[in-house]
Structure formats: structure tokens, C-alpha cells
Chains A and B, each alone.
Chain A
Amino acid sequence: MTVCTYDRRQSLKFTPRESVIIHFRSGGLRAVLFTLLWWILTDGATDSWLVGAPVVLFATLVSVALLPPFSWSLMGIVRFIPFFLWCSLRGGMDVARCALHPRLPISPGLFDYIFRLPPGLPRVFMANIVSLLPGTLSAELGANYLQVHVLDERKDFLSELEKVEQRVAAMFGISLPPSGGGE
């Protein structure tokens, strides 16, 4: 299920009226999330809402102003969570094994991964995820590539990164061009 909102680059496709609707829908959703956050932070104290309600409203306005609505997919996000948890567990075990091993079995290297994702939030998100995954660390975010430091260059990181990129694209409701990546 893809919720149809837009990002900066595609904004021209929408009429002003549609754009207003999109902003309101996105703002409403964010207001719900901020309300939930306030509820968590205050342990649900009822008398805190005197402060909480204006804060939620202010946070929503600032959030929509700073980060315009972008496309995302609920299914993509739900499917990303177990994938991420499993990958970070593998990443932690892998690096723990290397650190505890007497001979330090690492063979580091650098390589460039050409993005298929569009610029902006999806790329930044992927760069952050890559650092938490097994054996990879994002070193430099270039104009259209991500320089990745790998702990063991004998492993096949390209297909691993392509998989991650595919998952991130699914979260943002983006479809990627078929081939791509590369050194």
C-alpha cells in the first residue's frame, strides 16, 4: 500500500489544491505520532496535555515546514523491521567474532556503490542503515555514490548492498531501475 504524497522533486506534478490536501494529510499523521510521543514521555499524565497539545501542534507545523511530505509505504516499513533486526544481529555477531578472534581475521577495503535511489532522504537513510549492517560502514556520501568501508573485502558486498537498497526503496514506495550498483 503506497500512500500518495510527494517529495520536492516531483512537486510540479501536483496542482496547488492537491498539494494542500497532501500537506494536511501528512501533517495529520505526524500530529498523531507526536501525540503518541508526548503520551510516552509523560506517562500519559492527563494534566500534562495543557502543555502537550500546543507542543504537538507546534512540532507538527515545524516538521511539515522543515521536512515536506514524502512518499512512503506501510508494507515496506513493516517488512523492513525484521530484515533490519536480523541484519544488525548478524552485524554485531560478525564484528564481535572478529574482535574476539586471536588472529583478527579482517581484510578491510573501500569501494564505491553507485546509488539507484533518488537523492535526499532515501540516500541518507540508506547511508545510516549501511553502517549498522554486517561488515559495512558508510564513509562518504558522494553526488551519486556511497563510499563504503568494508571489514572484509573478500565477501560479496555488492549483492548485499543491492538488497538493502531494494528494501529502502520499498519503504519509501520507490521503484528502482533494474540493474545498477557496481564498483
Chain B
Amino acid sequence: MMLGDYLTVVLLIAGSIFFLAGTLGLLRFPDVYTRLHALTKADNVGLGLMVAGLALQAESWTVVGKLLMIWLLVLLAGASVAHLVAAAARQRGIKLWKR
């Protein structure tokens, strides 16, 4: 294995840890708002690290561009949907969990 391959492995493992933490947060956090925190932020970083890891293995610049586009579109969709879910929950009067 080359240095780039090791870096890819490290980035992919780090990315999957963030996905795992995001999913754990989704299960453990107490209400809809806090669960959205876990999903948007952890998955954003998880996917970012995976995209970075895969980009190192790309054979051409267009593949790197495609991976980057995927990440940006997921960021946009994730942030917009999180906001819409939170706004809908507020409108329905769903109370937020307080310690």
C-alpha cells in the first residue's frame, strides 16, 4: 500500500466513526431538535471525511469534482431539511426538552 492508501483508510474509518456517533445521537438524544443536531453535524463531517478519503483514490479530476458535488449537495439538503423539520416542529408547538 502507498501512503495515499493509508490516508484513505484513516479518513474512511474516521468518517464512519462520525456516522456512528450521529446515529447514536439520533437514538439517544431526547427530542426532535437535539436529534437534528446530531444528524446534520455528524453526517456532514462523516461524509466530508469519506469524500476526502475517496478523492485520494480518484483517477481523474472529474471524479474529484463529482465527489465534491455530492458532498455540497448533501450539505445543502441536510441543512435545508433540518431547518424545515425544526420549523415544522416549532409550528406544531412541539416543546423542546429541557434539562
Contact = CB atoms under 8 A, between A and B. Distances in A.
B38 interface: yes
A95 interface: yes
B75 to A, nearest CB: 7
User: In terms of DSSP, what is the predominant structure of the interface of chain B?
Assistant: helix
Interface string A75-92: 000000000010011011
Given A44-B62, A106-B34, A137 B18 contact: no
A108 B83 contact: no
Interface residues on B, range: 35 or more
Given A44-B62, A92-B18, A128 B25 contact: no
A1 interface: no
Contacts of A43: 60, 62-63
A108 B66 contact: no
B90 A139 contact: yes
Contact of A99 (B25, B36, B80): B25
Nearest to B40: A131
A56 B46 CA distance: 32
Interface residues on A, range: 35 or more
Interface in A155-182: none
B79 A88 contact: no
Contacts of A96: 17-18, 21-22, 25, 42
A88 B44 contact: yes
A152 to B, nearest CB: 9
A41 B75 CA distance: 19
B62 A106 contact: no
Contact of A95 (B25, B33, B80, B97): B25
A95 B90 contact: no
Interface in B56-81: 60, 62-63, 65-66, 69, 75-76, 78-80
B96 A98 contact: no
B84 to A, nearest CB: 10
Nearest to A94: B41
Interface of A: 36-37, 39-44, 85, 88-89, 91-96, 98-100, 104, 106-110, 127-129, 131-135, 137-141, 147, 149, 151
Report the 6 A-B pairs with minimum CB-CB distance, sorted nearest first.
A92-B45, A99-B25, A96-B21, A40-B65, A128-B79, A139-B86
